[in-house]
Amino acid sequence: MIDTHAHLDFPEFDPDRDTLVQQMLEQGISNAIIPGVAPALWQRQLAIAQQYGFYYALGIHPWYCPLKNDVDISELKLLINSRRQDHALVAIGECGLDKLRQDTWPFQQAWLEAQLQLADELGLPVILHCVRAHEELLTLLSRHSPSRRGVIHGFYGAPELAARYFRLGYRLGIGGLLLNEDARKLHLTVQHLPLDAFILETDSPAMAPKSAIDRRNTPLLIAQIVAKMANLQKKSSVLISERLSENAVQLFEL
Ligand SMILES: [Zn+2]
């Protein structure tokens, strides 16, 4: 299994990253994708990805986009071009829209559009972050989707919303929020959409389920997410983990 979204480069993992990676392997989580967040963090992210053999994406998160409209992603382009031969670089992202961040909101759309364009030029999929801006994101994606599409990560919406993304060719990243008893819309989404619509992720160290909210999230949560999906889809955990791994392999060409 692959955790398709884990910030394993974050300092929360500095004290025990080696041990955690060992535990991941013991539990059959063979790899993870570390998404890019901000230019200032890219070098550290790349160093950790390389050290452990993790996959990675490069991009600018909507919380960290520069507060200007004259978008210049030449630094991102340059870095990606220098790594085009690296098979571990699998996507652009994470990028997207987040209405809860009022400070960057006026600038987010321009930064997202530039990264969608870049993904299309480079033939890479995108990892998308979206909070309370689904109509805006769907409008944008219906106009300018990169050819390889991508994933709406940390998805927690209703089946109707999920189906709109799936019809546009996007997958939904399902993580720890599925384990919350009150996540009814998300439970319905997992029940009603085909397995092809989903990939597995944790967004570690964030997005711990409520039962573990005071604790750091880790990729080790994947087994519980698979078990919950198996329960909701009335299928075996083995089948769920196989099919969702295939989806990740297909989307990111791993
Ligand atoms: Zn993330």
Confirm or deny that 129 is annotated as ligand binding: yes
Instruction: Supply the range of the domain harboring residue 149.
Output: 2-252
Give residue-wise pLDDT tens across range 226-253.
999 999 999 999 999 999 999 999 999 9
Average pLDDT, the chain: 96
Q: What are 27-38's pLDDT values in tens digits?
A: 999 999 999 999
For ligand 1, the distance from its centroid to the CA atom of residue 207, given in whole angstroms, is: 9
At residue 117, does pLDDT exceed 90?
Answer: yes
Residue 162 and residue 189 in contact, taking contact as beta carbons nearer than 8 Å? yes
Residue 68's pLDDT band (boundaries 50, 70, 90)? confident
Beta-bridge partner residues of 31: 2
The stretch 211-240 carries a mean pLDDT of 92
Cβ neighbours of 56 (radius 10 Å): 23
Is 160 known to sit in a ligand binding site?
no
Which amino acid type is present at position 231? Answer: N
**127: three-class secondary structure by DSSP:** strand
Structural domain count, the chain: 1
Q: What angle do CA 140, 145, 151 make, to 5 degrees?
A: 95
Report CA-CA distances (Å) from 15 to 10, 21, 30, 93. 11, 12, 21, 26
CATH number at residue 209: 3.20.20.140
**7 a known binding residue?**
yes
pLDDT confidence of 201, banded at 50, 70, 90? very high
| CA-based torsion, 112, 204, 14, 216: positive or negative | positive
Distance CA(253)–CA(191), nearest Å, equals: 26
